[in-house]
Amino acid sequence: MNLLRRSLKEYKKIIDLTMPLKPDMRGVSFETAKTVEKDGWNARMLHLYSHAGTHMDAPIHFGVSEETIDTIPLEQCIGEAWVIDATMVKPKGLIHVEHLGDVATNFKPGESLLIHTGWSKVASDPDKYRNELPRISEELAQWCVANQVKMMGVEPPSVADVNNIEEVTRIHKILLSGGVVIIEGLCNLDQIDQAKVMLYALPLKVYQGDGAPARVFVAAD
């Protein structure tokens, strides 16, 4: 049965792939706005970098088009996804088409990829998490476009080396100009024990946003 044609209640479990936004994260800070004692309710002012934590990139992020995060159709944010074991890729290593294994031949246009590297485990070390991340090769980025990948989800905060402006620009432009939705900063991929799941990646609807934090989860059997 097509995974997309099932309701969420038909799945055995929902796995949250979203990192909680905390004030010790890059681009995140909170400010007390109201308190129960003084105002009758609690409320905080949230200051968020548009690519903080688990987030989605919009094409305008790298100027490949004028499409912003609030105009990405929700149909592009939901779909079947293959879970790829790339835990053997070392820090600063490249993820290639060969790491897809049999998925490379079984993949159907419109499906998505979740790349499990285990990198979310080092998120508590911000410098290593950002500066030593495993990344998507140009070969794999081109393959994703050629095979009409709907969404590409990764654990690191970027699909490419953020300290190499040429690389990070090139990889993002290949994917975004090819219609691939990029989701970065995932976690809990190690909790998925099946090859294919239903992926839901729902970004904040930020007006004219270049990206936004997203609530991302999968439905699994």
pLDDT, tens digit (0-9, with 9 covering 90-100), for 160-218: 999 999 999 999 999 999 999 999 999 999 999 999 999 999 999 999 999 999 999 99
Q: Is residue 6 scored above 80 in pLDDT?
A: no
Write down the domain spans for the chain: 10-19+51-220
Q: What percent of the chain has pLDDT over 90?
A: 94
pLDDT at 184: 99
What is the tens place of the pLDDT at every residue in 57-98?
999 999 999 999 999 999 999 999 999 999 999 999 999 999
Q: What is the pLDDT of the chain when averaged over all its residues? A: 96
The answer to whether 156 and 91 are in contact (CB under 8 A) is no
List b or e across 163-197, with b for residues whose CB sees 16 or more CB atoms inside 10 angstroms: eeeebbeebbbbbbebbbbbbbbbbbbeebeeebb
Q: What is the mean pLDDT of residues 11-31?
A: 96
Contacts of 179 (CB under 8 A, 6+ apart): 145, 148
Would you place residue 2 in the very low, low, confident or very high pLDDT band (cuts 50, 70, 90)? low
pLDDT at 1: 46
Q: What is the mean pLDDT of residues 104-131?
A: 98
Token pair belonging to 35: 């308190």
Q: What is the mean pLDDT of residues 40-68?
A: 98
* Fold exhibited by the domain 10-19+51-220: Glucose Oxidase; domain 1 (3.50.30)
What is the rounded distance in angstroms from the CA atom of residue 73 to the CA atom of residue 51?
A: 19
Q: Hey, what amino acid is at 48?
A: L
pLDDT at 109: 98
Closest CA to 188 of 7, 1, 10, 15: 15
pLDDT at 7: 77
pLDDT at 10: 86
Q: Would you call 201 exposed, middle or buried from its count of C-beta atoms within 10 A (0-12, 13-18, 19+)?
A: buried
**Sole residue written with tokens 């934090």:** 213
List b or e across 65-95, with b for residues whose CB sees 16 or more CB atoms inside 10 angstroms: eeebbeebeeebbbbbbbbbbbeebeeebbb
Q: Is residue 108 scored above 90 in pLDDT?
A: yes
Closest CA to 54 of 221, 217, 214, 191: 214
Q: What percent of the chain has pLDDT over 70?
A: 97
Q: What is the pTM of this model?
A: 0.95
